[in-house]
Structure 1
Amino acid sequence: MTWHRKPLAGLDLETTGTSPEADRIVTAAVVRYGGGRPTETRTWIADPGVTIPDGATAVHGFTTEAARTAGRPAGAVVAEVVDAVTALVDEGLPLVVMNAPFDLTMLEAEAARHRVRSLFARSAPRILDPRVLDKRVDRYRAGGRRLEDLCRHYVVPLTVAHDSSADAIAACGVTWKLANRHRWLTRLPLDELHERQKRWAADQQMSLRQHFASTPGKEHRALDVRTDWPLVPPMRSGVWTGA
């Protein structure tokens, strides 16, 4: 039985901003998807301990006051999220994360900040990133590559964009549809597919870097393009010590 016929684990985070090393988790969802069973979902709301900027609120709907009222201490939430993901990974499930370097780096940085033993310190997850996979199998397709775009292309329901539960489920659905359409992916062992995604992601990001570098007015954006996947290494960040 190929890996896409078995359950998938999924992770999604909504955050205070766009820096995975410095910003904080506001909501999180961990799901068990597929394999002939109903989807199982766990969700969390955290009080990030910092002000949530208006721009982030416009994306996921949580104000600073709402997160403080409904949320639990961030350290407890981070510990439970890491525990939930580790348990599924230790069952042998691949972990689906849309734009993995953002969410996984965020989770590792938060674990360091709250002195929680992190996912990558506890396990060796095999990651499936639908963003990387889609760009590999359909490199020249016009249009966006956000989760909403992929859901439209692969005909996957997305009930509420930027809701962590809905996004985690949709990312798993996209990954399943993508693999079912491009069966050669399912014939690769998960360990090999994980390693190939490292190379594919690096190539994709290098291409983006070159595009910015050669586009008038966008040259400065080339400096911010990262090629690391699925995790930005700790030595690249100044906050991984728990600051």
Structure 2
Amino acid sequence: MRAARTSQLDWSYGRMTGFDLETTSTDPHTARIVTGSVVEYGGGRPTLARTWVSDLGGAEIPPDSTRIHGFTTEACRIAGRLASVVVEEITADLAAAVEEGRPLVAMNAVYDLTVLDREARRYGVTPLFDRVSPNVLDPYVLDRHVRKHRRGGRTLADLCRHYVVPLDGAHNSEVDATAACALVRKMGRRYRSLARLSLDQLHREQVAWAREQNTELREYFARTPGKQEWARGVSLEWPLLPFREGVSRR
């Protein structure tokens, strides 16, 4: 009887893999990984985390980025591992999670997954999406769908306050990855319309929801004085920005 009941539980009761990066900039095409974490969460088992610090591969961390995550260029060069090795190991861990049937969870996933993809190409590592086809859960996209007109921001900290999820030290990759998992689990249990979908279905829905959400954002910027240029920077793709030859790899 216990086994039969477990088989009927939805994805919010299963094991999931959280993923987060702290980086050198906000441009996913050129940002370098500073730290990265892969977190195994849920499923009635203890949370397990693995965290990497990169030596930046010769890049530098601007002061504005250091103020966010606390890492300096010097600290990374001293404590960090070879950037190419970090990228390979993170990518391999995520690919293994997908092959085991776990969804990948990331807040504003399109940023982190694009950074990882560009870093992989930079170092000659086989990119994640060339290895596997992950089902991604993004609390940012999900919240914008289920609570479209909710007042307030939608940063990770904002969502954690709204859904009453602990966030002890934001902009720490392990903390952020764990919080993202807790958020999507809580959303799945609060909004049964999400939980009733299979992971495959929910991934496909998020592709459509993100496109609709970003189309509306692009149109809002285009018609708002002083923000018209911002419209050009709004991509409709999710969860990965397409790679285009000729984009700077520096």
- The TM-score normalised by the length of structure 1 is 0.97
Relative to structure 1, the CA distance from residue 125 to residue 201 in structure 2 (aligned partners, 3 Å threshold; closer, same or farther) is same
Checking the alignment, whether the CA contact within 8 Å between 1:156 and 1:173 is kept in structure 2 is yes
C-alpha distance in structure 1 between counterparts of 2:27 and 2:106, whole Å: 17
- Aligned partner of 1:34 in structure 2 is 42
| Cross-structure match for 1:72 | 81
Specify the alignment match of 1:106 in structure 2: 115
2:174 equivalent in structure 1: 165
Asked if residue 13 in structure 1 is aligned to residue 21 in structure 2, the reply is yes
Aligned length: 241
Q: For residue 235 of structure 1, report the CA deviation from its aligned partner.
A: 2.0
Deviation string, structure 1 residues 124-153 (Cα, Å, up to 9, x no partner) = 100001000000000000010000000000
Displacement of 1:173 in angstroms is 0.4
Contact 1:21–1:105 (Cα < 8 Å) also in 2: yes
Paired with 1:206 and 1:34, the residues of 2 have a C-alpha distance of 34
Secondary structure of 1:141's counterpart equals: coil
* Distance in 2 between residues matched to 1:55 and 1:23, nearest whole Å: 13
Distance 2:167 2:246 in 1: 33
Q: RMSD of aligned C-alpha atoms?
A: 1.1
Matched ranges for 1:55-204 at <5 A:
55-204=64-213
Where in structure 1 are there 5+ consecutive unaligned residues?
none
SS in 2 for 1:80: helix
TM-superposition CA deviations, 1:81-104 (whole Å, max 9, x none): 011111111110010011111000
Shift of 1:219: 1.0
Deviation at 1:236, TM superposition (A): 7.2
1:136-180 superposed Cα distances (whole Å, 9 cap, x missing partner): 000000010000000000000001100000000000001111111
- Which secondary structure does the structure 1 equivalent of 2:244 belong to? helix
Amino-acid identity (%): 52
Do 1:21 and 1:237's aligned partners in 2 also have CA atoms closer than 8 Å?
Answer: no
Task: State the distance in 2 between where 1:99 and 1:10 align.
Answer: 12
Which residue identity is paired with 1:75? Answer: S
In structure 1, which of residues 37, 40, 44 is the aligned counterpart of residue 52 of structure 2? 44
Letter in 1 for 2:136: I
Task: State the TM-score, normalized to the length of structure 2.
Answer: 0.94
User: SS of the residue aligned with 2:22?
Assistant: strand
Q: d(CA) in 2 for partners of 1:28 and 1:136?
A: 27
Unaligned runs of 5+ in 2: 1-8
